[in-house]
């Protein structure tokens, strides 16, 4: 089923056992961290506004997110609207104009990673039906807009800039608000972290999972984007580690300069043990490049592996100074494993990207 441009998940999404616990303000009002902290004194509540987004205050649906931890759910909008860099906080254009009445998302991420935020992360919105009490909803640009087919929605991906912005947002929410940096994998209430809207959509929804839309079969965010989620979360862990140790800062508001954004983490490894076969290879830190092989094309850098569709591949080729390497299957698998730890081989040649020790 293609996307539709109505409010996907309406105002009846509060579970009966959570409705009374959801503090309400006047429709369109703001629920700020101080108010939440007063209502839930045992919860850690930090900032409600991500510093890398343009703040366009519109409010939520009148309720508050009461879950601890809260989750972040990624969508695609029925829109290919691009935020105007000359007027990035305009409240009346594109998704912002629609959301002013729909109150269906916390923010929107365009194809350049330029983001607007409409509601505090502690304000509930009408984005995930039965999950509204715990899920932030983040909409995203998609190239087909409203008129694409299910096949097109399933095949297209988040751009590399969108992925970096989402990872930065998740890292901020983790540091500021204790959001969990894991792939939720499904919509069960026991699952925490970052999820894709599809996790709560039939027929992909697992038994016992919350229903996150009234529209069964809806192609949001699409198959290829769901597959990008583990990489987005892995990159968020790298960013969170680097920010926490003072090695870099969050992205500023505006379009993402991908080369600068990837380089800022300085090759800091993810905070997990290095898997085999890393000890078998000579490793050093390098910059960003395109890896092309049996696994397709991917934009790569320390702690960063982002699979690309054909359009994304052509876009990546235009990055100033970008280099491409060709790898075989073993090179693809080994290099991907190494990169997600923040390293890459000290030599890169056609056929094998990770060079064994002599």
pLDDT tens, residue by residue, 243-273: 999 999 999 999 999 888 988 987 543 333 3
Q: What is the pLDDT of residue 146?
A: 83
pLDDT surpasses 50 at 10: no
pLDDT surpasses 60 at 280: no
Three-state DSSP string of 119-140: CCCCECCCCCHHHCCCEEEEEE
- In this prediction, residues 330-349 reach a mean pLDDT of 53
352 confidence band (pLDDT: 50, 70, 90): very low
Cα–Cα dist 238/242, whole Å: 6
Q: Could you tell me the two tokens for 303? A: 């702690």
Q: What is the pLDDT of residue 333?
A: 64
Percent above pLDDT 90 for the chain: 49
**Cα distances (angstroms) measured from residue 157 to each of 218, 242, 298:** 16, 26, 12
Domains and CATH numbers, the chain: 16-234 (3.40.80.10), 269-358 (no CATH)
> Which of 7 and 80 is assigned the larger pLDDT?
80
Inter-axis angle of helices 160-177 and 223-244, nearest 10: 50
> Which of 12 and 104 is assigned the larger pLDDT?
104
Q: What is the pLDDT of residue 212?
A: 97
Count other Cβ atoms within 10 Å, centred on residue 300.
25
Judge if the upstream peptide bond of residue 203 is cis by omega within 30 degrees of 0: yes
Cα–Cα dist 164/157, whole Å: 13
334 confidence band (pLDDT: 50, 70, 90): low
- In this prediction, residues 304-325 reach a mean pLDDT of 79
Beta strands in the chain (DSSP E): 54-55, 71-74, 107-109, 115-117, 135-140, 194-196, 283-284, 289-293, 296-301, 304-308, 324-326, 344-345
pLDDT surpasses 60 at 3: no
Is the distance from CB of 104 to CB of 9 less than 8 angstroms? yes
284 confidence band (pLDDT: 50, 70, 90): very low
Is the distance from CB of 79 to CB of 146 less than 8 angstroms? yes
Count other Cβ atoms within 10 Å, centred on residue 210.
22
pLDDT surpasses 80 at 148: yes
CA angle 208, 211, 217 (to 5 degrees): 110
- In this prediction, residues 95-114 reach a mean pLDDT of 93
- State the DSSP code for 183: B
Residues in the chain: 358
- In this prediction, residues 157-180 reach a mean pLDDT of 95
pLDDT surpasses 60 at 346: no
> Which of 150 and 21 is assigned the larger pLDDT?
150
Count other Cβ atoms within 10 Å, centred on residue 286.
17
- In this prediction, residues 327-341 reach a mean pLDDT of 63
Summarised one tens digit per residue, pLDDT across range 181-223 is 999 999 999 999 999 999 999 999 999 999 999 999 999 999 9
The pTM (predicted TM-score) of the whole model is 0.69
Cα–Cα dist 13/338, whole Å: 42
Q: Could you tell me the two tokens for 245? A: 């140790």
Lowest mean pLDDT among 5-19, 177-191, 218-232: 5-19
Instruction: Give the chain's mean pLDDT.
Output: 77
Per DSSP, what are the bridge partners of residue 139? 108
Is the distance from CB of 289 to CB of 313 less than 8 angstroms? no
**Cα-Cα-Cα-Cα dihedral of 173, 175, 176, 180, to 10°?**
50
Q: In what order do the strands lie in the sheet with 194-196?
A: 54-55, 115-117, 107-109, 135-140, 71-74, 194-196
């Amino acid at each position: 089923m293609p996307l539709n441009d109505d409010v996907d998940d309406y105002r009846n999404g509060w579970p009966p056992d959570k409705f009374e616990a959801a503090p309400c303000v006047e429709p369109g009002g703001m629920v700020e961290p101080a108010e939440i902290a007063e209502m839930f004194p045992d919860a850690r509540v930090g900032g409600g506004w991500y510093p890398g987004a343009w703040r366009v205050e519109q409010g939520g649906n009148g309720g508050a997110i009461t879950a601890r931890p809260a989750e972040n759910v990624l969508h695609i909008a029925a829109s290919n609207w691009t935020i105007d860099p000359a007027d990035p906080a305009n409240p009346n254009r594109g998704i912002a104009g629609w959301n002013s009445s729909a109150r269906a998302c916390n923010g929107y991420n365009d194809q350049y990673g330029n983001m607007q935020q409409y509601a505090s992360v502690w304000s509930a919105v009408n984005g995930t039906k039965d999950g509204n009490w715990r899920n932030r909803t983040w909409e995203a640009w998609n190239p087909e807009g409203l008129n694409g087919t299910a096949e097109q929605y399933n095949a297209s991906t988040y751009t590399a800039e969108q992925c970096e912005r989402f990872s930065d947002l998740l890292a901020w929410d983790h540091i500021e608000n204790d959001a969990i940096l894991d792939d939720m994998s499904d919509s069960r209430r026991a699952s925490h972290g970052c999820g894709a809207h599809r996790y709560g959509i039939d027929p992909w929804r697992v038994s016992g999972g919350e229903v996150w839309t009234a529209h069964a079969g809806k192609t949001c965010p699409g198959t290829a984007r769901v597959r990008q989620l583990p990489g987005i979360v892995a990159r968020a862990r790298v960013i969170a580690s680097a920010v926490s140790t003072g090695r870099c800062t969050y992205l500023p508001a505006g379009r993402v300069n991908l080369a600068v954004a990837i380089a800022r983490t300085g090759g800091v490894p993810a905070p997990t043990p290095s898997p085999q076969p890393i000890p078998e290879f000579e490793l050093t830190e390098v910059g960003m490049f395109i890896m092309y092989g049996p696994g397709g094309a991917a934009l790569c850098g320390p702690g960063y592996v982002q699979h690309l569709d054909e359009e994304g591949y052509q876009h990546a080729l235009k990055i100033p100074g970008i280099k491409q390497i060709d790898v075989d299957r073993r090179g693809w698998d080994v290099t991907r494993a190494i990169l997600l730890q923040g390293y890459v081989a000290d030599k890169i040649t056609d056929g094998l990207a990770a060079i064994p020790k002599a």
